[in-house]
Structure 1
């Protein structure tokens, strides 16, 4: 059996190489061998979150695998036919359930029948797109491409306790439509009617969220924008601060998850910094959402959008997509703050 060799040490050397390779392997039915998995991390190899992504891909595509275990730095993955159905995937830690979901979502959305998937683990850990981002920003935008999903949340799970649980219902689509978005869709620096501030707080003082909101309001001039502190029922303490901008096409979310020893004011300032960068660039898509769209426009065969300066994470993702699909995703700099991604 022939395998395409994917080097997990390339670029930023993290889990994105693994997940992108798995998704596109299932889509193309290309056998792959992943080596040097997460070689760029302090703890290389498959951690629970990454192992769950492999196991989810294996179950969904009835794949034949070799070497799949915790800590593995080399695996083989041979997919067969993608099977829609009812699934449950539990990470067993606060690892990101949304990243596990995004590994299998593109192929399930192209299956012949609907699927229901239950995820258990982390939903807001600060190191990956949160469930809030996934549900409120990512899914509404890709619905226009033909990805039709619904999220039902039972419980959120913050790092380090985890314990989140949610369900995704996926309706089938024949193909994915190309995606083109070059305009920011509004003058957000002067129009705050579509801007909002939200602080999620679990087993912590409400004052933490109140201070985050007050700090961001002052720095951005969003005193009259909608704002709310949400007290969350979760197994462990946690805090997520979110600044949102609603354009004509989608919602951009700028989220910072609170950490022990990090003041509310610093959390807010970090989120504000990302908002200011986005507003001044007049980009259509913020940095993190841009990274998540790459696989979908590659599968669709065409697409483009403007964004802020792409991260190493993004350029690594593009390299893996190019290797497996052979497509050429180009990044061109428009000005000092704006870039265009085009396929």
Structure 2
């Protein structure tokens, strides 16, 4: 990739503002969560079915899906009860079993940090992934994945984890809030997944200005999408906010997606659309009041994320966003950006 020669002071600025908070916080450096789900050791040792279970660290989502299709309902339910953390996080497992398993994990854990995920006002939540390790990772489905004709996935940026997944302040800056709003706009026949399935940067520091966490996140996102495909879910439109667009840029060449939409992006670690090596249509949105516009679009010595995807030379299709207001207003009801996002998610935008 071409390296940009703007002054290094610009890169320092990028590290100061790319996560959207003030100050330098290198002590907040994060260790990416990688590898198979929690509980894998006991899963590997389980021979109660008289057959070897698919190895979470080596089996592809397609292989996992084939294995579960070969089980009886009683056998499937036995695995849900014995290994909820594995079943709930193993890509390729039928979504209905993952919902059941994650409900069991959340209730059994009885961890006050995740009380908000067990339900709100008695409403059943469709939790597609729940990993309590570290800061926690979670994915939630709005709509019916089994019958949806159109599916979207929302990939968030910095400072998102299981605890901030659906915080009540800055709602449209959370994966849950973005997904709910998009689902409400797309209407019947659609489903939207809020995916907080990778370790995001916290605060401001090198994590936010480099691609290490994004690389690990890209691997997890591509496997997640492969799991949807193995379960016969339509290829999704993937919406990538802020640092999430770095994740999507690094995943693009391997990611099963109909559309790739970046918003409030600091860059995708690609020079242009062709450099992404994707067959997905690529869209980009940036509001004039978004602070991300102050981030220098450079990449020097691994710092910074490259060109602005909304720039004329990048080649992405532009999404109108003049009324989005700031860095987290793109999914706000009544905005042009949300209406266009819904049109993209439904496969209607051209």
TM range (shorter): under 0.3
- From the two aligned structures, give the one with the greater strand fraction: 1
TM-score by length of 1: 0.26
